[in-house]
Amino acid sequence: MIPELRADFNRRWTPARYEEFLRRLDAESGTHVEFRCSETPVFLPNDMLTQMVRCGQELYGQLAANPAYLKAAAATIPAEFRVHGAAEHPLFVQADFGLIRQTDGTLAPRLVEIQGFPSIYAFQPMMARQYQTVFGLDEDLTTFLGGLTETSYFNLFRKVILNGHAPDEVILLEIDPFQQKTAPDFLLTRKHLGIKIACIRDVKRSGSKLFFDNKPVKRIYNRVIVDELVRKNVQAGVDFKDEVDVEWAGHPNWFYLLSKFSLPWFRHECVPETFFLNDVRTLPDNLHDYVLKPLYSFAGLGVNIGPTKEDIAAIPLDERGAFILQRKMDFVATIDTPSGMTKIEVRVMYIWDEGALQPVNTVVRSGRGKMMGVDFNKNLDWVGATAGFRVK
């Protein structure tokens, strides 16, 4: 999207450089990166990124200032996953945007989803650095936001995860963490912060205290996706609803409090028209222009693009409150690659610090399929996870 940078990169790209890039990702992660990483980074105009950052902050501000929303969202938390000691604000926020072309020809961001849950905060800077090193990108390019450098970024990350605790008192909590595709991020988090990586099966409770490897746990960096916990019928070593003496770096309740549930509540230019399915009395005739989404799925599971009336009729009436119907956006392909024009989805990553939602970095996914997920982009090249560079 910065044409001269795009053209220069395409001219200098070689298969050997790409293979070296992938080799370095594995080597620095300490494991094989299983998800597909694109042949190319993307180059994002500062004014567009500024608009995305502002939209994400305004959207969160709308929710935080709406007691009716907060009450309704809190009511969606299942009793068995309602965790004590709820935080007033999410520690981590992700706002995902696609790009549409407006009638005047300019590009504008539209919200895909917003989440109160962590992302790949440790992996993304490493990926960007490897793009920069292997492909010889200009040093005036960066992926960091808010004036951060790699050093100040990780200082902030360390500050909010540890919160003054010793690293050996803090764990990264996940389900079978070393079998997750995000394991490279976990390993890099351990490398930068010195914290332990713990499977939820292996954390034990004694009274009001939690232990891992027979050592007390004082703070948890939570990476557990609740619907995966249910889907896999995981027998956890600790019950979420137990009142225990532990701090949360990313309180689990925000998985529900800031999710697709928020989409129908927004009134903002960047949010497509969205309804709870149980509020739709008469289905639109042009259902092909809509997307049906389950509220709490992850990684695009269960999303139905252009549902039929039969698809919707198959959902029991008492379950329709767990789905949203959203007007489909015509996201445009903006990245010129040797394999054709490619769409991107930009995730603005925030950290709550000093009483405000601070933008820190971006995650970019690219694809030419119906959606950005791996299943929709099988056997394609010049797609996948990538980094979004801007000019400093």
DSSP state letters, 203-232: -EEETTEEEETTEEE-EEEE---HHHHHHT
Give the amino acid at 364: V
Distance CA 219, CA 245 (A): 9
Indicate the pTM of the whole model.
0.94
pLDDT at 27: 98
CATH code given to domain 273-327: 3.30.1490
Supply the angle between the helices 183-193 and 150-162 in degrees, to the nearest 10.
90
pLDDT at 86: 85
Tens-digit pLDDT string for the chain (392 aa): 899 999 999 999 999 999 999 999 999 999 999 999 999 999 999 999 999 999 999 999 999 999 999 999 999 998 988 998 889 999 999 999 999 999 999 999 999 999 999 999 999 999 999 999 999 999 999 999 999 999 999 999 999 999 999 999 999 999 999 999 999 999 999 999 999 999 999 999 999 999 999 999 999 999 998 888 888 888 887 787 888 999 999 999 999 999 989 999 999 999 999 999 999 999 999 999 999 999 876 555 688 999 999 999 999 999 999 999 999 999 999 999 999 999 999 999 999 999 999 999 999 999 997 766 655 677 899 999 999 999 99
Q: Return the domain boundaries, the chain.
A: 3-259+330-391, 273-327
Distance CA 119, CA 305 (A): 25
